[in-house]
Amino acid sequence: MAKSRKTVDVADSYAVRLMQHLVVPTFVIDPKRRVVIWNRACERLTGVGAAEVIGTSKHWQAFYETKRPCLADLVALDRPEQLPEYYSEYAARGHNGLGFSAENWCVMPKLGSQLYLAIDAGPIHDEAGNLIAVVETLRDLTDQKRAETALKELATKDGLTGLSNRRAFDQMLLGEWARAQRTQKPLALLFVDVDHFKLFNDQHGHQSGDECLRAVAAVVSRHAVRPLDLAGRYGGEEFALILPDMDCDSACMVAEAIRCAVMTLAIAHGATGAGDHVTLSVGVASHIPGSADDSPDRLLGAADQALYVAKRLGRNRVICAEQVLAEFAALGQKAVPAPVRRKSA
């Protein structure tokens, strides 16, 4: 019996030494969620020494600024239902000793930088099925995550201006349309067009044309100030701005601010048939979607029509869709000439 006990002690000692030198960052907590092993790779990953956490329940301080459970804690507590609360990506691999997996950004207070970690935590039970420890292993996926994020941004950004591209804009518009339909709040849309841009290119060349578009894009982007506002390059010299929870009057104020800001840039134009400086025409529409509005086509069409009217009335102006009929009535026209109607993707 003594020999058997000695063999177990030797095996335990060997397992601990092996885990200490494992190249994978690993720590172990007991059933009371106190750290019993904090290996050297974990020290290197977190900047936290084993002496700071062994025998304590302060392992969370290596990863977060405010107290919260780590994945090993959720395994020890058997709380798979709390995974969505703490992790953006997760999997509960079931009971029977399989544990949980998760991924998330950790602030790493000792390092002063964030790391994106892939985390696995599994329970260890004795022969009677009692929990005796939980092992958590960590993998640093920060470089891969940043590369993935950069690729996603490339797929959604316009290469010339850095604004959202048409595909990303259309997806956002569909999402905001559905949200406005649920909340019954208005959704505003601006179409912003650079006046006489073809003449500008002919006069100054395409390189100057690109610089002009970037300057206009920067102005449009500065007016997408709220978290859900989105500025995009809709195509060519045309930009668009989604303004959730905004009525037509407020959206017209934003449009006028954009128009005036571009005039302040005083970008020289001077082509025959154009003014001295680059100007914008802006069409504005706002709508609260009804139950029958299954797409934002009506909003797109209204903003497009308002832009068309702004150009017909002489350019360098803001027209709201609600003003369209009144503007043309003032010119003695009974109907508004309709442009090609836009539709959502």
CA distances from 318 to 4, 245, 279, 285 (A): 88, 20, 11, 11
- What SS3 state is found at 102? strand
The DSSP letter of residue 276 is S
d(CA 269, CA 266): 9
- The closest of 156, 141, 182 to 288, measured between CA atoms, is 182
Chain mean position to CA 24:
31
Is 237 assigned a catalytic role? yes
Q: Give DSSP secondary structure letters for 6-51.
A: HHHHHHHHHHHHHHHT-SS-EEEE-TT--EEEE-HHHHHHHS--HH
Q: Which of 43, 136, 176, 237 is catalytic?
A: 237
Tokens for 250?
């407020």
C-beta atoms surrounding 249 within 10 Å: 12
Active site residues: 237
